Amino acid sequence: MRKFGFIIHPLSYDDVLRYEPKAAGKGTPLIRKILEWMPAYVVSEVTGVRSRTGEEIMGYFIGVPLMPDQFLELPRAEVMDRIIRGANIAAELGCGIVGLGGFTAVVGDGGPTVAENTTIAVTSGNSYTIAAAMQSLFRGAREMDVDLQTAHAVVIGATGSIGSACARILADKVAHVTLAARNATRLGKLTHAMQPHVRAKLGWTVDIPDAVRHADLVLTATAATSSVVEPEDLKAGAVVCEVSLPHDVSRRVATERDDVLVTEGGNIKVPGDVDFHFDFGLPPKTSLACMAETMILTLENRMVNYSLGRGVNLDKVLEIERLAEKHGFEVAGMRAFDKEVTPEMIVRTRERARAARIAETEAAGVALP
């Protein structure tokens, strides 16, 4: 049976306890130190991934157990060595391809160096993540009656691998797209390069709260390690699609803004009777899109480097979307803040948004002389 490997890491201290319950009660500094010492290891076996074509595969989750900020702060060469070791464990287990999860695809050059240092194929999984994020955002827009033709969207993390591709796709569907991140030079260059090829009017900013304030659609795909979208910045009725892991949207949004729809953008229902033998915080039979891409390529026997580096080929986004359909992968039900978003919640959010907009209009009317 063909096999895949997928590299994972904890995103938070709660995750560390899921990986290693014995860590409970140990202080954060000690846990961080232990993680720094821990080499890559096999976390679990993934069984029961079965395509609707009848093909079945298996795989392994391989842990490179560092926290997101450790990936960014520890010496680059040391971090890359650990990720390469993780990829080589997959090779030793007989896998034909290894996927790079979370920050293992963000650090360094986003895959090419790992690919050069292992004998098997490598993918970041970003092509299917982009396809899934777009499907999730547009589903949210339909649910909240956002008219794409006139909508204003903001992509946060717009110069990144996922963000830039999402911005490009969005810019042919909506009226305005604001590209947001921290580096002004990169944002300016990207905006200038993209504008002649798209329908939307583009803008860019490093002032993320200001951009969010004007947006009907918000897509977040940053490599930030703390929240960048706060409840006070969101427009009533906005749809927020969250691709980043760890999440970019403040948890305060869950309790303080019942008039905006937040949805995780990269959750996929896996065909077959899949068992990950590991709880990474999603419902049963549900994976991240980057994991799903690695599975789809294995089912297709496409043991080639697929999504690598900072630039994403939009043809691959379309191709992997088609292959996902062929094998029976689909975007999972809406979810946000570790919970399902039910149809009743969506109806309530839509009503609250309508009420908030009416209140805003009335307030603006009263203020007029």
**Residues 212, 248: Cα–Cα separation, whole Å:** 12
Question: Mapping DSSP to helix (H, G, I), strand (E, B) and coil, where does residue 249 land?
Answer: strand
Question: Which two tokens mark 201?
Answer: 């009017």
- Nearest approach, Cβ of 209 to ligand NAP (angstroms)? 11
Smallest distance, Å, CB 319 to ligand NAP? Answer: 17
Q: Hey, what amino acid is at 110?
A: G
Contact 246, 11 (CB under 8 A): yes
Question: Which strands form 97-100's sheet, in the order they lie side by side?
Answer: 121-123, 97-100, 3-8, 56-63, 41-50, 272-275
Least Å distance between CB 365 and ligand NAP? 36
Q: Is 169 helix (H, G, I), strand (E, B) or coil?
A: helix
β-strand 272-275 against 41-50: which pairing, if any? Answer: antiparallel
We find the least distance from the C-beta atom of residue 325 to ligand NAP, in angstroms, to be 18
Binding site for ligand NAP (CB under 6 A): 102-103, 105-106, 110, 125-126, 129, 156-163, 181-183, 186, 221-224, 228, 243-245, 266, 288-290, 310
316-327 as b/e: b if 16+ CB within 10 A:
bbebbbebbeeb
In 3D, which of 205, 256, 258, 207 has the Cα closest to residue 230?
256
| Residue 349 C-beta: closest distance to ligand NAP, Å | 22
Distance in Å, CB of 193 to ligand NAP, minimum: 14
Select 204 or 237, whichever has its Cβ closest to ligand NAP. Answer: 204
Judged by CB, which is closer to ligand NAP: 61, or 353? 61
340: which 2 tokens? 């399902």
Nearer to ligand NAP, 59 or 237 (CB): 59
Smallest gap from residue 27 Cβ to ligand NAP (A): 26
Selection from 348, 256, 245, 279 nearest residue 44 by Cα:
279
Report in angstroms the alpha-carbon separations of 61 from 216, 299, 330, 340. Answer: 37, 17, 21, 25
Contact 84/72 with Cβ under 8 angstroms? no
| CB contact set of 230 (below 8 Å; sequence gap of 6+) | 209, 250, 252, 253
State in angstroms the smallest separation of the CB of 204 from ligand NAP.
11
